[in-house]
Each structure stands twice: as C-alpha cells, then as structure tokens.
Structure 1
Amino acid sequence: MTIARSSDRPLNWPIILFMVAIHFGALFALLPSNFSWSAIGMAFILYFITGCLGITLGWHRLISHRSFRVPQWLEYFFLFCGSLSCQSGAIEWIGLHRHHHAFSDQEADHHNSGRGFWWSHMGWLLHDVPAKSEIRKFTKDINTDPVYILIDKYFLVLQIALGALLYALGGWPFVVWGIFVRLVVVYHFTWFVNSATHKFGYRTYDSGDRSTNCWWVALCTFGEGWHNNHHAYQYSARHGLQWWEIDVTWMIIRGLQSVGLADKVKLVKQEANLVKQ
C-alpha cells in the first residue's frame, strides 16, 4: 500500500474551516459579558463527561481495545458521551485508532510522530487521510450496529442540540464555554496523546514505536498520558502501571467493577515478554 507524504495529500477544507470556526468561537470567552463561573463549571462538567467518560473510558479503553465489558446499555451511554466530543463519528474514530496501533509511527500511521510534532498533533487532520479507506476492516464488530451507525451519522446534530440546550439553560456564556472552549480543550488534550506522548517523557518498555509516558498529559486526559505502557500492553484497562502513575480512568473502571457494571477486565499479569529501557 502506497502512502502519500503529508505534502502530497490534498487539504481537507471542510475540516479546516470547522476547526477555525471552533477555535474562533472559543475566543469569545475573552469578552467580559461571557464570563460566568457557572458557565465555566458547566464546561468542566462537560469536559469530564465527554473527555473522560466518552473518549478515554468509552471510545478508547472500552470500545477500541475491549479492555473490559459493560452492559450494552452502558456501552451505548459511553458511546453517546464520546459523540459529544465532536471528534468525528465513533466508527471513524475507533477505526482510525485501531489502524494507528497496527502501524504506530510507521509510514502508514496517519499521525506518525516521525513527521514532527505539528503533524502528529493536528496537521494530519487537515489533510485527506488514506487510512479512512480501511475503517470498515478495523470496525467489523461495530459497523453494522444500528445504534453505532445512528450516532456516527448524527454526531454533529447532537452537538447542535447540546448547544441549544446550553443556550436555554444559561444563554451565550454557557454556549461559548460549554461548546467552543470545552471542545478546544478536549481536542488539544486528545491530540497531545498523539503528539506529546510520542516525544516527551520516559519510556519504560520497548514497544516498537516512539510512545512515551508523560505525566502532564496523563493529568489532562485522566490517565491516557501513560502511553508507552498502553502501547506495550494495548489490551490493559489500566494504563498507569506504577504506583505513582495516577490513572483516573482506571479508578472509574474499578468502581464500575465493584458495583457489578464491569467485568472481563483485562490487566497486565507479567512483564517478561518486553525489554525495559
């Protein structure tokens, strides 16, 4: 399979214009009329719901890697939470993530960190992504599920509906902080996992790529920053493997397990098969 260099890939203008609009909208938070502690609080709540429960726990550890199992209704709830992060449809996101793990930091990897920080952070998003042609191959377990198909198709409509609800609750400050600022924060924190945790931090395992463990990314992303651990043991529901590697998402999974809402939790049992750095 021939992969075009970034400079050869056509620009994806709908994505570029969308990203410009979201970042521009976040600047309205600087207006005094849009300052509101309740709006900031709402943004933080939505940041947790969409970034932690949705992307980190739901789309990533639960669905992409099947690190644990929950009842179907709860899986759909986490799927819905992730859709409110507005990071494309769930099937596309999950397919591209699985593709990334199959080719991590190789030429076929759509956010190959070998192309530089900007490319792996968000530059790749602004171009056509050849890996999208393989999404169906990487999502055979979910791409015929009617709930996944529905949420994948209408994720942008759900974001607009959320914006309308926020406007009804608190006017424009709620929209500016709860939609625009929150999306910018969740976007860049998610992208740091693709960029910063392939450049900064320490390596515990020889995972066959450039992945690192980066404490400040872990802090921002509820434990996703222990990325070298994750690439070494992709199946593990726990990413922070050392006592000092705080993993909030793992704490939530343990909580779900303790009340009977999570089972078949996959964990690292031994480390002899990997070479420590």
Structure 2
Amino acid sequence: MPVLIFFVAHWYLSLFVQTFYLHRYAAHKMFTMNRFWERFFFLLTYIAQGSSFLSPRAYAVLHRMHHAFSDTERDPHSPHFSNNAFTMMWKTKDIYNDVLNRRVEPEARFEGNYPLWTAVENFGDTWMSRVLWGTAYVLFYIAFATQWWMFLLLPFHFLMGPLHGAIVNWSGHKYGYQNFDNHDKSRNSLFFDFLTGGELFQNNHHKLPNRVNFGVKWWEVDPTYPVIWTLDKLRIIRLKKVRA
C-alpha cells in the first residue's frame, strides 16, 4: 500500500507543477505571483519532478514554439511527424537540450517572461541530481514494496515529467473531439481529464491559449482550475483578466 500511495502522490504532484507552474505560469503567464511564491513553486517543481526535472525556461520556449508551429514540421512535439510516441519524445528531448544548453537561439518572441533560478535549474539538470533522486525512489521501493511487480513502476518515477508531456502531446493531437477549427490537429481527448489535470483539453487550449480554465463546455471539467481559483482567492497568485 505505501508504494501505491507514493506512486499516485508522485504522479499527481508532478502533474500539478507541470500544468500549474511550467505550463500555465512559465509558458503563458496566465496569473502573477510575488517573488517568494515564484521561488516556492520553482523549488516545488524541482522536488516533485525529481529525476525528471524540467527547466521552466526551456519548457516555456518549447511550448511557445508548439503553439506557433502547431502540427507542422517546426512543431517540437507533434505526433504527426514521428512514427511513435518514443521517437516523438526523443525528438523533443534533443530540441529541449539544445534550448536548455543554449546551443540554439530561439526566436526572440519565444524568450523572456518566465521564472529563472539559475542555481536550481543548473543543479536539477545534473546527473548527480537525477541519480540521487532515482536512488531515493529505488530505496523507497526496496523498503516498502511487497510484490515484485511493484518495481515495474520505477521507470515511471524516473521519467515522470517527460512522460506526462508525451501523453498530452501524443493523445491531445491524435485522439478525441474538436470544439474549434484551429487549423491544426489539436483535440480534446477526455470529457473529465483527471489523468492529466486538464491538459488533454488541447483543442480548447489552442483556441484560447490564455484561458486559465481549459474546460469550455459545461461538462468539460478541468480539475486544476479549482485549485488555481482557490490560490487566487488566498492571494497566493493573482489571475489576469482576459477575454474568453
């Protein structure tokens, strides 16, 4: 039981920081927060993603490229230019590393207005950090696993951040229905997106990229939105007023 609780907790905490901090804050700035809370959620992102920590800067740049070039050859992670989800992930990894390590210079429109914390970002990308987190996961499983098959969950922990991204980018541009004609292949894969925190309302998001609630129809439930609404009421963040 402790292993399954740990797996579910890691899945949803990692998912939360990706959709809340990396996507809706770093890439889109749908809301604002002061420096203390920006650093707090930056550190939480590092802890939650652990061995698969993703740089807010690199994430923001790639995601802005994705919106600008959606489902074209210049899209860093369109499933329509890869044979399978694994080759798409590998292509995305290469582009991500080029941006992260500044081996390429992105267009100026994709840069800026994202959180920076160089010390955490640099350490989070080291092999030392990734191996230490991976070792911690393994030791936890050794201590608490009661069945051999539980160890098969470990690769999900190692690659949690990229795995969430792969599910969203593959499914959200291949399977489901469309509310809007966005001149791309974005789709809404689920009516109630509890598995990826609202991220699989891709068709809605591509039509309304600054809308903080990814659900549009009354029956489309974005489970991350009530959390964001609550944080706004607590004045931890401040939602921007935008037209739908």
> Structure 1 length as normaliser, TM-score?
0.70
**Does structure 2 retain, via aligned residues, the 8 Å contact 1:42–1:178?**
no
Query: What number of residue pairs does the alignment pair up?
Result: 227
Equivalent position amino acid for 1:49 in 2: L
Corresponding residue number in structure 1 for 2:21: 58
Equivalent position amino acid for 1:98 in 2: R
Cα pair distance change 1:109/1:181, threshold 3 Å: closer
**3-state SS of paired residue (1:195):** helix
Cα pair distance change 1:196/1:237, threshold 3 Å: same
Cα pair distance change 1:172/1:266, threshold 3 Å: farther
Structure-to-structure mapping, 1:98-247, within 5 angstroms: 98-116=64-82, 118=84, 121-127=85-91, 128-129=94-95, 132=99, 133-135=104-106, 137=108, 138-142=110-114, 145=116, 147=117, 149-156=118-125, 157-163=128-134, 171=142, 173=144, 180-184=155-159, 186-215=161-190, 218-247=193-222
**Does structure 2 retain, via aligned residues, the 8 Å contact 1:117–1:195?**
no
**Structure 2 segments unaligned to the other structure (5+ residues):** none
Residue 222 of structure 1: how far off its partner (Å): 0.8
Q: 2:5 aligns with which of 29, 41, 52?
A: 41
Q: In terms of mean alpha carbon deviation, does 228-237 or 126-135 score higher?
A: 126-135
Residue 165 of structure 1: how far off its partner (Å): 5.0
**Structure 1 segments unaligned to the other structure (5+ residues):** 1-36, 270-277
- Provide the C-alpha distance between the structure 2 equivalents of 1:117 and 1:241, rounded to a whole number of angstroms: 31
Corresponding residue number in structure 2 for 1:89: 55
Cα pair distance change 1:217/1:189, threshold 3 Å: farther
Cα pair distance change 1:87/1:115, threshold 3 Å: farther
- Provide the C-alpha distance between the structure 2 equivalents of 1:221 and 1:78, rounded to a whole number of angstroms: 19
**Does structure 2 retain, via aligned residues, the 8 Å contact 1:211–1:227?**
yes
Equivalent position amino acid for 1:241 in 2: V
Identity between Structure 1 and Structure 2 (%): 22
- Provide the C-alpha distance between the structure 2 equivalents of 1:49 and 1:267, rounded to a whole number of angstroms: 27
> Structure 2 length as normaliser, TM-score?
0.79
Q: In terms of mean alpha carbon deviation, does 80-89 or 244-253 score higher?
A: 80-89
**Does structure 2 retain, via aligned residues, the 8 Å contact 1:113–1:195?**
yes
Asked if residue 69 in structure 1 is aligned to residue 8 in structure 2, the reply is no
- Provide the C-alpha distance between the structure 1 equivalents of 2:221 and 2:167, rounded to a whole number of angstroms: 17
Structure-to-structure mapping, 1:23-42, within 5 angstroms: 37-42=1-6
Cα pair distance change 1:129/1:101, threshold 3 Å: same
- Provide the C-alpha distance between the structure 1 equivalents of 2:172 and 2:55, rounded to a whole number of angstroms: 24
Deviations 1:26-58, CA, capped at 9 Å, x for gaps: xxxxxxxxxxx1022112112222111x10111
Q: In terms of mean alpha carbon deviation, does 39-48 or 130-139 score higher?
A: 130-139
**Does structure 2 retain, via aligned residues, the 8 Å contact 1:46–1:182?**
yes
- Provide the C-alpha distance between the structure 1 equivalents of 2:154 and 2:120, rounded to a whole number of angstroms: 18
Cα pair distance change 1:117/1:39, threshold 3 Å: same
**Does structure 1 retain, via aligned residues, the 8 Å contact 2:26–2:56?**
no
Residue 65 of structure 1: how far off its partner (Å): 0.4
- Provide the C-alpha distance between the structure 2 equivalents of 1:102 and 1:264, rounded to a whole number of angstroms: 24
Residue 261 of structure 1: how far off its partner (Å): 1.3
Cα pair distance change 1:90/1:109, threshold 3 Å: same
